[in-house]
Structure 1
Amino acid sequence: MSSEVSGETRKAARRPVPLPVRGPRPTPREPLWRDLVGAVLRRERRAQRRTLREVADAARISLPYLSEIERGRKEASSEVLAAAARALGLGLGDLLSLVHGELTPAEPVRRPVPGHRPAAAPHPSRQSPPSARAHQGLCLAA
């Protein structure tokens, strides 16, 4: 047996990788609540230059659990979120407000509603000219 690779095997190894099919881009995925909450908690903790241990101790939450919340790995209860917020000097409402700021873009993005067709605006040629509408109003008032 020889150590040479057959020509068939070499050709198979050199096949070009197919490019992805171009089409409509997928709509961006909505962020998960736990990812947003975790990011806000971590950002607030770091802004205060506090360690995970300090905040976990103040909130009476285990350090690994708080770490998992910050990384978006755990969906924390409202009691745990309130405790973590209090440990950072925030109320639960403050935390929710900060998360809302992360979730809401500067300009609202209109997403189509499945199965809903927006009403079409009337064609400009089908609208009465302003003078005719004013005349109609006068006739109705008389």
Structure 2
Amino acid sequence: MSSHVPNQARVIPLRPATAAPTPAAKEPLWRHVVGDVLRRERLAQERTLKDVADAARISMPYLSELERGRKEASSEVLAAAARALGLGLADLLALAHGELARPARARPARTGTEPTSVTSVTSVTSVTSVTSVVPGRDRSSGRATAPPHGGMCLAA
């Protein structure tokens, strides 16, 4: 008669067990935000991909890829697409900035399927001023200055 005692080792965790971390809100990719803005503006104007692609002098499949966030466009291509939609590059950037500045819960989640209709459209017709804060010297005090948060400020 033998007793069957399980052969188990005692496990001592090196780190205390914690609850599973909650997934943080994922930041959208720049190409997705810009693509969404391009598509929204094109649909608001009731224009076709072909019409805008021809006006921008880029291929229709490439514009489609941009709108779906699958391609990372150069500044020249973005400027051409914006001009074809009657926008300046600064306008396109301001719209994209507005999307990024919205709280994450207000942003639509990207699921890989694109919406077939747009329920609301906001369009920027012009950017009234663009200010770039560049590190340098304050003329009155001679002290070094730096841009806030190390970036550029767009004001509309």
TM-score range, shorter chain: 0.5 to 0.7
TM-score (norm 1): 0.58
- Which runs of 4 or more aligned residues in structure 1 lie more than 4 Å from their structure 2 counterparts after TM superposition? none
The answer to whether the aligner puts 1:75 opposite 2:75 as a matched pair is no
Do structure 1's residue 34 and structure 2's residue 61 form an aligned pair? no
C-alpha offsets along residues 28-73 of structure 1, whole Å, 9 cap, x if unaligned?
A: 1110000000000000000000000000000000000000000000
Q: Which amino acid aligns with 1:57?
A: D
What is the Cα deviation at residue 26 of structure 1?
A: 1.0
More helix by share: 1
Q: Deviations over 1:3-48 (max 9, x none)?
A: xxxxxxxxxxxxxxxxxxx633110111000000000000000000
RMSD: 1.5
What letter matches 1:38 in structure 2? G
Matching residue within 48, 51, 55 for 2:52 = 55
Partner of 1:98: 95
Count of residue pairs brought into register by the alignment:
86
Question: Within 2, Cα distance between the matches of 1:79 and 1:24?
Answer: 41
Once the two structures are superposed, residues 84-110 of structure 1 have per-residue CA deviations (whole angstroms, 9 ceiling, x without a partner) of 000000000000000000000259xxx
- Aligned position for 1:24: 21
Per the alignment, in what secondary structure is the counterpart of residue 22 of structure 2?
Answer: coil
Larger Rg over CA atoms: 1
Aligned residue type for 2:42: R
More moved, 87-96 vs 23-32: 23-32
Separation in 1, partners of 2:90, 2:73: 16
Alpha-carbon displacement from aligned partner over 1:102-130 (angstroms, at most 9, x marks no partner): 000259xxxxxxxxxxxxxxxxxxxxxxx
Residue of structure 2 in register with 1:117 after alignment? none
- Please give the alpha-carbon distance, in whole angstroms, between the structure 2 residues aligned to 1:98 and 1:61: 22
